[in-house]
Amino acid sequence: MLKQLTKIHRRISFRAVIMLVIVITVAIALIISGLFVAGQTATNEETRTNQTIHNIGEAVRKNPVVLQHLKAYQAPASADNAIERYTHRIQTTMQVDAVVVMNMDLIRWSHPVKDQIGRSFLLRDDAAKSLNGKPHYSKTVGVLGPEYRYFTPVIKDGQQIGIVCITVTVKTVQAEILAAQKPILIGGLIGLLLGVFGAAWVSLYLRKRLLGMTPDQITAQVTELTALRESMSDGLIAIDDQRVIIQLNAQASQLFPALTAGNALTTDLYDALFHEAKAMNRPVAVRGKELIVSTTPLMAGKRNLGQLALVHDQSDYQQLVAQLAGTKQYIEALRAQQHEFMNKLQVISGLVELKQYDRLQTLVFDFHRDYQSEFGSLNSRIKLPAVTGFLLAKANEAHEQGKTFTVSEDSQLPALSETNTKIEAELIKVLGNLIDNALDAVSVKTGTVAVSLNYDEESRTILLEVADNGQGVAPALKDKILAKHFSTKGSDRGYGLALVNDVVKAHHGFLAIEDNEPAGTVMTVELPLAEKEDADDPSDDC
């Protein structure tokens, strides 16, 4: 039997199913309504009246006009107020006898008899039952005679500011009961015809809104799209035109744990991720993360629904690249030293053959002194090999440019624990950008770049300083040069110091830009290692 019903369901179109369900529902509703109205008209009318005044009361108490103008302990300034005009329209439209709004002192702000506005509610004990924030029904004699009443509290910002009372007189209810006694059959047939036409219209509307797909097809597509979204290796963030997140996959949540769909995207993330309306593979540094971002508008035909960003985290790759780059430079520095040592060994070999031993002794001492000043001393003081190699490579680079590069003799940096291995890559990033900027700022022959690198054991803080004797930084630019995309060197620049600033912020560190004497700039950076874990707290993504 079940299989046969399934086959029949498949043969019937979705539109036919919708029409059939609606027509049957309307027909059954009309039949049941006719039976009840014919047998229990009075009871149904009373129930309907209670439901009507309940619905109207709930709508009125939530209306912005009432919430805005009603004062909890203040009488209305005049009988012709905004609440009175609004309730008069409701009373006329909904065909009830009275819509009364009163404050917490039970002073009327609206009433069908305008003389009653500004006066106390007649049956205060009846109304006072809703001062505790709970609605209730009553049937009693009021200003308009025997009445059905519904009292409901008006709540604003979690506080009750008044009460709404919807009133229908017994006389009105009796008139409706008499009207309901008219022949039901004609009304039922008309209702059934309207139901058929309504079913046809609804089926066409639903088919159009569902793009001609059946519910099963929609379910399949949603399931497939969800699986596709969650299986993406890139983070996906979609926002509407109000910057509210409408889609967020698991990868994006891992990058920014505090983001949730339905909440607005924070300003820093919006500026970083959606800086350009449409871009491909744009490098972005934000919240200590280095990302590759592609953005595109979300379009439905010609209507712009918002923006979509695909985010790829390259922080780990950048750290690895930085480490490899430092190691490579270290190796290249060693190769240069090896080449120089080979040349010196050839000189030594020649002096031995010439038996010039006194000259040989002097030369060996000179070689040793040069080695200690250029490599041995630095290698013994800086215990991070990649950083040592990086500094040696920068020294060679400066030498090739005809500029002086020095590392202060008091510079010392111990080998860090395994929990802080990432700092080596971050140090190379900071030093590289600061040193490159300093080398660019100084002139050939007279240019000098001095680096100082130390570690404070007590505060677990790395202290570094890069000083040059270039032209310096104009005071007006000191507050701007750390911003992304800002550069005095042309377009497609302005990332170096921004990356340095991101690293410093990630460690809750310190970055200062000061003038050097007699000329140039001094860049000072403090990187507290103990604060790094706090900087990675997901709460920072809020």
pLDDT 10s digits, 334-391: 565 565 566 667 767 776 777 777 777 777 776 666 655 555 567 778 888 778 878 8
- Residue 109: pLDDT band by 50, 70, 90 thresholds? very high
pLDDT higher than threshold 80 for residue 329: no
Compute the distance between CA of residue 467 and CA of residue 441 in angstroms, rounded to an integer: 11
pLDDT score for 110: 93
pLDDT score for 182: 60
pLDDT tens for 230-248 read 777 788 888 998 889 988 8
Helix, strand counts (H, E) of the chain: 18, 14
Considering only residues 404 and 351, tell me which one the structure prediction assigns the higher pLDDT. Answer: 404
Q: Select, from the ranges 176-185, 377-386, 507-516, the one with the highest average predicted confidence (pLDDT).
A: 507-516
Q: Are 473 and 481 in contact (CB under 8 A)?
A: yes
pLDDT higher than threshold 50 for residue 435: yes
Compute the distance between CA of residue 49 and CA of residue 167 in angstroms, rounded to an integer: 10
Q: Select, from the ranges 5-14, 45-54, 81-90, the one with the highest average predicted confidence (pLDDT).
A: 81-90
Tokens of 135: 């609605």
Q: Which residues are CB-neighbours of 416 under 8 A, at least 6 positions away?
A: 384, 423, 424, 529
Compute the distance between CA of residue 387 and CA of residue 424 in angstroms, rounded to an integer: 7
Instruction: Return left, alpha or beta for 291; rule: phi > 0 is left, psi -120 to 50 is alpha, else beta.
Output: beta
The mean per-residue pLDDT over the stretch 53-76 comes to 91
pLDDT score for 540: 46
pLDDT tens for 278-325 read 878 788 877 767 788 888 888 877 888 888 888 887 765 655 555 555
pLDDT higher than threshold 70 for residue 183: no
CB-neighbour burial class of residue 423 (10 A; exposed 0-12, middle 13-18, buried 19+)? buried
The mean per-residue pLDDT over the stretch 446-459 comes to 91
Report the predicted TM-score, pTM, of the whole model to 2 decimal places: 0.41
pLDDT score for 246: 87
- Residue 153: pLDDT band by 50, 70, 90 thresholds? very high
Strand arrangement, sheet containing 448-456: 404-407, 448-456, 461-468, 521-528, 510-515
Across the chain, what does the average pLDDT equal? 78
Compute the distance between CA of residue 317 and CA of residue 255 in angstroms, rounded to an integer: 15
Considering only residues 526 and 2, tell me which one the structure prediction assigns the higher pLDDT. Answer: 526
pLDDT score for 341: 63
- Residue 446: pLDDT band by 50, 70, 90 thresholds? confident
CA dihedral 338, 344, 346, 348 (to 10 degrees): -140
Compute the distance between CA of residue 260 and CA of residue 271 in angstroms, rounded to an integer: 18
Tokens of 456: 């404070």
Worst-scoring range by mean pLDDT, 27-36, 46-55, 83-92, 135-144? 27-36
Strand partners, 244: 264
Find the radius of gyration of the CA atoms of the chain. 40
pLDDT higher than threshold 70 for residue 326: no
pLDDT score for 369: 66
Strand partners, 513: 523
Cis check for the bond before 518: say yes or no (omega within 30 of 0): yes
Element (H, E) at 139: strand 136-142
Q: Would the CA dihedral through 46, 47, 51, 57 be positive or negative?
A: positive
Which of 176, 162, 97 lies closest to 88 in space, CA to CA? Answer: 97
Compute the distance between CA of residue 78 and CA of residue 225 in angstroms, rounded to an integer: 59
The mean per-residue pLDDT over the stretch 323-338 comes to 58
- The residue type of 166 is I
Considering only residues 497 and 314, tell me which one the structure prediction assigns the higher pLDDT. Answer: 497
| DSSP 8-state code for residue 264 | B
Distances 484 to 96, 268, 275 between C-alpha atoms, Å:
64, 12, 11
Tokens of 488: 């005095």
Tokens of 433: 């950008």
Q: Which residues are CB-neighbours of 421 under 8 A, at least 6 positions away?
A: none
Compute the distance between CA of residue 53 and CA of residue 49 in angstroms, rounded to an integer: 6
Compute the distance between CA of residue 376 and CA of residue 386 in angstroms, rounded to an integer: 15
